């Protein structure tokens, strides 16, 4: 609770000017080998907002997400240009502490990928890596993060059950919990509901409303309806380019570009 | 099964009776040939096992199991058959070889899978596997020519020793352990690795906390195979172990292993002595069985926990 307060206090606009962006993507291009996947993208992620990213398949949405926490570094073919800042610091600076960056910018994938361990171990893995050793603190983290992703009531009696034995929707919420246990600042959700039933999807959307008070959330979704109902701003990507970005209501009711309106009305993609 | 087969030609008989018949016959012949081959292979193994036990058990009974296993006196001509030094020798040499084989083999596998570009692995891995084809006498020869003098000059003792045997065997095990471990490590889903990295783990933390854990049963299999080779290897060990009949007190002492004992004395043994060598074979057989069982248990422990947790 105090942490929520702190976060809110921090994010109160400074009297001098507008709220500084949490993350800034500046002229960012990315390629795999010869193929350019992102083309000079400029985008801001504000504190305590839900930013939806929509666009047809292969338009570079996942690549952008994986660039925000430097997961693409693992791809031998990957190369990039331009800058990405977190709180004003260039995340691709050679002296960046990359594991720490990944703790601050947590990510949930399209396919739930719990590690082949118990629920408890899945959630405490990240905090233990970060140096949390107190059993009490770990227990508290497990409970709070499971509650935040609406999974606690379903699994509280069987925390030592393998995470891989949960249903798909539960596994996805477990993956969300284990990211929340890192106490990140930015949450990247890459099509988190693409394989889920409507109830699990509703659960995750519900969780996001709560989570937005504390985190910046970037939600990639192939479901324009979800973007419309569960985001504050929306960005539309096409073939690696950011076509349009603005308040969700505006983008959906009054898109500036023809291609945006074609996409949201389902004329292609 | 046979009734089902019989029905097939009836159904297809109307259209192409000849072809269907011919295929059926050749398939039957092939399955019989395969069956006979499997049967003869298995019965061959069974006969060998039975023969070893038939020859070995009576002498163990005559000497007494406890004396046979726990006595350090091996004077075949006087009817003294105690193989304790050789059991200890085999176990020490095997344990040493396992440590060396595991540390280096697994280290090599981790390096190859986690830190090398895939193209390099596809060159290096076959090269390592080629090492398995070098005859053991060559390993023994290199051991005698280089390793034994080195140990004698720098560490003391006669040079021919437990340590020398362990190193030679460990090196011989490397290709097996490395290549099977590489396969096991590669089979770990990429999603585990990415999941761990995305949670703020470094590459090394991911390797030892996620990848090694997930690949454990494969790694254990690699070690079992390597261990089998270490316990059973004879030629290279005879060349570097010293083959004395004393109980070893340090890793610099010479030893004789169970397999060496059989190989060294088989040429002139007769009567009870010959039978005692078969009995040595029986003990070897039991040791390998026990070690394999333990290893299999270890590799299955995880899945059992899973079942219990449900
Ligand atoms: N690891 C990779 N190596 C090579 N090409 C890739 C890799 N990841 C993605 N791509 C390519 O980049 C393009 C954009 O993919 P992606 O970012 O996953 O799009 P989206 O998430 O919008 O569907 C695709 O054409 C895809 O084939
Ligand atoms: Mg994608």
**Residue A146, pLDDT score:** 94
pTM of the model: 0.77
Question: Which of B187, B197, B198, B305 has the most A C-beta neighbours within 10 Å, making it the best mutation to test the interface with A?
Answer: B198
Residue B217 lies in a domain: yes
> Do B49 and B86 have their domain in common?
no
Flag if A161 and B205 touch (Cβ within 8 Å). no
| Number of domain units in chain A | 1
Tokens 């390592």 correspond to: B128
Residue A3 lies in a domain: no
> Do B118 and B24 have their domain in common?
no
Flag if A99 and B200 touch (Cβ within 8 Å). yes
> Do B273 and B163 have their domain in common?
yes
What is the C-alpha to C-alpha distance for residues B310 and B302, in angstroms, rounded to an integer?
Answer: 13
Dist. CA A187 → ligand 2 center (Å): 16
Of all protein residues, the one whose alpha carbon is nearest to atom 1 of ligand 1 is A75
**Which residues crowd ion ligand 2, with CB under 5 Å?**
A 62
Ligand 1 atom at minimal distance to the Cα of residue A191: 21
Mean pLDDT of A189-214: 86
ipTM score assigned to the predicted complex: 0.85
> Do B303 and B256 have their domain in common?
yes
> Do B31 and B136 have their domain in common?
no
CATH code of residue B228: 1.10.3720.10
> Do B156 and B207 have their domain in common?
yes
> Do B38 and B113 have their domain in common?
no
More confident residue, B95 or A194: B95
Question: Which of A125, A164, A172, A174 has the most B C-beta neighbours within 10 Å, making it the best mutation to test the interface with B?
Answer: A125
C-alpha gyration radius of chain B:
25
> Do B114 and B246 have their domain in common?
yes
Whole domain around residue B191: which residue ranges? 70-309
Q: What percent of chain A has pLDDT over 70?
A: 93
Residue A13 lies in a domain: no
Residue A16 lies in a domain: no
CATH code of residue A128: 3.40.50.300
Residue A232 lies in a domain: yes
| Number of domain units in chain B | 2
Q: Is the CB of A62 under 6 A from ligand 1?
A: yes
Residue A204 lies in a domain: yes
Among residues B214, B217, B107, the alpha carbon closest in space to that of B170 is found at B107
Q: Which pair of tokens denotes residue B44?
A: 């061959």
**Residue A203, pLDDT score:** 83
Q: Is the CB of A117 under 6 A from ligand 1?
A: no
Residue A29 lies in a domain: yes
Residue A157 lies in a domain: yes
Angle of helix A168-180 versus helix A198-211 axis, rounded to 10: 10
For the CA atoms of A142, A144, A147, A149, what is the dihedral angle to 10 degrees? -80
Residue B175 lies in a domain: yes
> Do B221 and B101 have their domain in common?
yes
Whole domain around residue A115: which residue ranges? 21-264
The mean pLDDT value of chain A amounts to: 88
Residue B196 lies in a domain: yes
Strand partners, A187: A106, A217
> Do B83 and B177 have their domain in common?
yes
Residue B59 lies in a domain: no
Ligand 1 atom at minimal distance to the Cα of residue A75: 1
Tens-digit pLDDT string for chain B (310 aa):
444 444 445 554 455 555 555 566 888 889 999 999 999 999 999 999 999 999 999 999 999 999 999 999 999 888 889 999 999 999 999 999 999 999 999 999 999 988 888 888 888 888 888 888 899 999 999 999 999 999 999 998 899 999 999 999 999 999 989 999 999 999 999 999 999 999 999 989 999 899 998 998 888 888 888 888 888 889 999 999 999 998 999 999 999 999 999 999 999 988 899 999 999 999 999 998 888 888 778 777 654 344 333 3
> Do B76 and B45 have their domain in common?
no
Residue A7 lies in a domain: no
Residue B64 lies in a domain: no
């Amino acid at each position: 609770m105090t942490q929520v307060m702190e976060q809110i206090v921090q994010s109160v606009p400074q009297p001098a000017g507008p709220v500084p962006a949490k993350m800034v993507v500046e002229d960012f291009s990315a390629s795999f080998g010869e193929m350019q996947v992102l083309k000079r993208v400029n985008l801001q992620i504000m504190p305590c907002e839900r930013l939806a990213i929509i666009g047809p398949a292969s338009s570079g949405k996942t690549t952008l997400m994986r660039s925000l926490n430097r997961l693409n570094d693992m791809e031998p073919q990957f190369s990039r240009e331009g800058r990405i800042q977190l709180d004003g610091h260039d995340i691709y600076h050679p002296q960046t502490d990359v594991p720490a960056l990944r703790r601050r910018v947590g990510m949930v994938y399209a396919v739930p990928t719990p590690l082949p361990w118990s629920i408890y171990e899945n959630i405490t893995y990240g905090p233990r890596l970060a140096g949390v050793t107190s059993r009490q603190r770990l227990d508290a983290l497990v409970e709070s993060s499971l509650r935040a992703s609406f999974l606690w009531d379903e699994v509280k009696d069987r925390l030592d059950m393998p995470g891989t034995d949960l249903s798909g929707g539960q596994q996805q919420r477990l993956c969300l919990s284990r990211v929340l246990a890192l106490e990140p600042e930015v949450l990247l959700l890459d099509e988190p509901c693409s394989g889920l039933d409507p109830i699990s999807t509703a659960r995750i959307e519900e969780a996001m409303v709560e989570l937005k008070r504390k985190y910046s959330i970037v939600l990639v979704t192939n479901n324009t309806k979800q973007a419309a109902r569960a985001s504050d701003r929306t960005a539309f990507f096409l073939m690696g380019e950011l076509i349009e970005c603005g308040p969700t209501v505006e983008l959906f009711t009054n898109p500036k570009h023809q291609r945006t309106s074609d996409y949201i009305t389902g004329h292609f993609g | 099964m046979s009734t089902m087969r019989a029905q097939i030609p009836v159904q297809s008989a109307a259209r192409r009776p000849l072809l269907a018949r011919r295929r059926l016959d050749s398939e039957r012949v092939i399955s019989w040939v395969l069956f006979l081959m499997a049967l003869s292979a298995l019965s061959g193994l069974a006969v060998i096992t039975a023969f070893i036990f038939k020859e070995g058990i009576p002498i163990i009974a005559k000497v007494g199991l406890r004396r046979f296993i726990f006595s350090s006196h091996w004077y075949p001509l006087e009817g003294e058959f105690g193989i304790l030094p050789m059991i200890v020798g085999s176990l020490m040499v095997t344990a040493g070889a396992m440590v060396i084989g595991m540390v280096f083999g697994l280290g090599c596998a981790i390096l190859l899978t986690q830190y090398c570009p895939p193209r390099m692995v596809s060159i290096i891995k076959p090269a390592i596997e080629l090492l398995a084809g070098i005859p053991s006498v060559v390993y023994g020869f290199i051991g005698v020519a280089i390793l034994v003098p080195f140990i004698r000059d720098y560490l003391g003792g006669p040079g021919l020793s437990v340590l020398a045997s362990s190193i030679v065997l460990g090196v011989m095990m490397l290709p097996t352990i490395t290549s099977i471990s590489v396969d096991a490590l590669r089979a770990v889903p990429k999603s585990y690795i990415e999941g761990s990295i995305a949670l703020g783990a470094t590459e090394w933390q991911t390797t030892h906390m996620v990848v090694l854990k997930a690949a454990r049963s494969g790694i254990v299999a690699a070690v079992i195979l390597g261990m089998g080779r270490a316990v059973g290897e004879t030629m290279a060990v005879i060349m570097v172990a010293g083959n004395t009949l004393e109980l070893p007190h340090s890793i610099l002492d010479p030893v004789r292993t169970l397999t060496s004992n059989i190989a060294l004395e088989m040429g002139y043994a007769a009567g009870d002595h010959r039978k005692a060598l078969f009995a040595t074979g029986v003990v070897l057989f039991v040791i390998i069985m026990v070690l394999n069982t333990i290893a299999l248990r270890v590799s299955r422990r995880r899945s059992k926990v899973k079942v219990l947790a449900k």
